[in-house]
Amino acid sequence: MTNPTAYVVTLIAAPGVLDNAAIDRVRTTLPAAQAPVWLAEGEAADIFFTLGAGIDQRDLAERLRSLSGGMIDVAMQPAGNRRKRLFLADMDSTMIQQECIDELADFVGLKTHVAAITERAMRGEIAFEPALRQRVALLKGLTVKVIDEVIEKRIVLTPGARTLVATMRANGVRTCMVSGGFTLFTDRIATMIGFDETRANTLTLDGDRLAGTVKEPIFGRNAKRATLIELRARLGLGQNDTLAAGDGANDMDMIAEAGFGVAYRAKPKVAAAAASRIDHGDLTALLYVQGYRRDEFVQR
């Protein structure tokens, strides 16, 4: 399956949703489609096919999504080199279900205001760096102990996060969580999930309180992409050996730079730009798109 025209489409759904009828609808649309290969019965399957000249991969993927009735994720890629050796992922609203800065703002009565700025930044409507400085300034005077409370009581890992990272690391993959958030969160959350390393912004402190500023330069969109390139070079890997996932506008360059970039439950602008997206599945979908079977997952 290493011929340049050999492709695979991976269908992923909630357990029990993916059936033979759905698979048959997809197979009839694909040129020279082979019999499905089940990765998890009723949940995920690969279909290998031949992508002919003049067929637009993105348009074909959209047609397949429409056939599924909006309930099945569709990931399409060349059939070779699917299992990656470097994985980078965003934290907020990707590896965890919250935006940490919004939760901090709740302690100063500004969650609604800060969350609105966060949403605009993640949608790409405003620049990330000034938006981050603006939000951090509103947190001035907040005690550092609040971060412990947010992590312990409010942060929820995205389903599949630990299994995804544990499985990839068990298969020799280097993993790095890259966040426009803050090291006071990422260092602990990366350990909770099992990442090898993490990169993020550093909040400045005034004693045991937030000073209302962030250390420059800000770790944002360009820095995420630069981290992928740096780690790839350090490990001696090619572009096709890399996987990246995120949801916001500051993830777009990293997603585009990766050999397989995924918009995970992403903002509309990000989902539209990414070559692949996961809208419904949990984070184990990123294992299925690499061809891992359910019985190969490492549970944590």
Active site (catalytic) residues: 90, 92
| Least confident piece of the model among 33-42, 66-75, 101-110 | 66-75
Is the domain defined by 83-300 classed in CATH 3.40.50.1000?
A: yes
Is the domain defined by 1-80 classed in CATH 3.30.70.240?
A: yes
Please indicate, yes or no, whether the overall pTM of this predicted structure exceeds 0.85. yes
Radius of gyration of the chain (CA): 20
Tens-place pLDDT, residues 198-210 = 999 999 999 999 9
Annotated domain spans of the chain: 1-80, 83-300
Confirm whether 1-80 and 83-300 share one CATH topology.
no
Tens-place pLDDT, residues 219-258 = 999 999 999 999 999 999 999 999 999 999 999 999 999 9
